[in-house]
Structure 1
């Protein structure tokens, strides 16, 4: 691929081709932004970053959360460890209040919902490529409340990273065995995480967890990546 001199070089990481094509159309409106690579799985994102660290290079990774093989949060952590100077902008359909703070705490330079206006997306890409952070008012409010004195974490905020991964897969209707296969965990381990998730979300069974998930923008009937 020929790269425009001086263009901001972007790697797209999303498992849906139609989403990647739509993003490329949006980014094509800015002559100073060029998509130099795309990937549809977590491991593929890391492979592309590894390949393009050189003459071409990457200025920003635009990364989805729900990726097969390795989810976006795990990919983000690997990127922060191996390429700490590479900005990562998360783009997802998941609710901002629950996920933006989690992503930023893991090292993302910003978080945007996929319903974001194209102009805001382009502005965010330029901002994080220049070394800045893109924080929406809603995310800023969530960050402020997180550090407020006396604030107690509740529900989803109490979940560990691994519990959060299992929670997301449970809300997608995955079975314990399917989750174990995807995350390389024994079924008994997944069941243990499930029990912790029920306790921390204040639910007693899968039906209540499904209702809880829907009320927080997850699961069947909620927006999906």
Structure 2
């Protein structure tokens, strides 16, 4: 009998872009320490990133939202027009209302706040590398500060984590299809979840469901 040979998976080639050298160095140290990743490109602004991507193959791009010359949204829009361009994950320190939705509109395949844990970042990179979209649920703090819903009767039942994630994504303005892509379920499954969520909240539509969930601090 022959000896079995274990074949190590090919490391994912990553490009990193951030105008803060400390952040860039931290990402490189974190991700470069894992055998599954190889840092092949570093850039301090969006234009330098675009130029570097023309010279070397990359599997996934991690890009800061706020950068000089060309910001992260601009990077996504430019690469969206390039056949075979690598997927982009946008990272940001600022938990701004609508940022995740704008990232999707620009063409980002991933979106994550920089205060996420290393395991969350690694999992998101691997999801995007496999061709899936991975958008972290957005914060509703800004919405809660501006809106309230008059109906404050408690829900009929509690909410599990999946239902809370869906409510948070609804608050971010996601469509059923986008929610399904974000949590990796079929669009029809999202509709079934929404029926259950509306029933628990005693509401009839997405807007009322979100506003009541925010008012009751479910999300």
For the superposition of Structure 1 and Structure 2, which TM-score range results when normalised by the shorter chain? 0.5 to 0.7
The gaps in structure 2 that reach 5 residues or longer are 1-7, 140-165, 176-204, 208-219
After superposition, give the CA deviation of every residue in 1:128-179 in whole Å (9 maximum; x if it has no partner).
011011122337545424268685xxxxxxxxxxxxxxxxxxxxxxxxxxxx
Q: Note the C-alpha offset of 1:110.
A: 1.3
Residues 96-115 of structure 1: pairs in structure 2 closer than 5 A: 97-115=97-115
The gaps in structure 1 that reach 5 residues or longer are 152-225
Look up the SS of the partner of 1:104 in the other structure.
helix
Distance 1:72 1:101 in 2: 13
Contact 1:10/1:36, CA 8 A, preserved across alignment: yes
Normalising to structure 1: TM-score of the pair?
A: 0.58
Residues 9-158 of structure 1: pairs in structure 2 closer than 5 A: 9-52=13-56, 57-83=57-83, 85-95=85-95, 97-138=97-138, 141=167, 143-145=169-171, 146=173
Q: Which has the larger radius of gyration?
A: 2
Contact 2:101/2:174, CA 8 A, preserved across alignment: no
Normalising to structure 2: TM-score of the pair?
A: 0.60
Distance 1:30 1:147 in 2: 33
Distance 1:13 1:5 in 2: 25
Distance 1:103 1:5 in 2: 30
Distance 1:74 1:86 in 2: 15
**Structure in which a larger fraction of residues adopt helix:** 1
Contact 2:74/2:106, CA 8 A, preserved across alignment: no
Q: What is the RMSD computed on CA atoms of the aligned residues?
A: 2.4
Distance 1:106 1:94 in 2: 17
Contact 2:100/2:138, CA 8 A, preserved across alignment: no
Tell me the equivalent position of 2:149.
none
Tell me the equivalent position of 1:7.
11
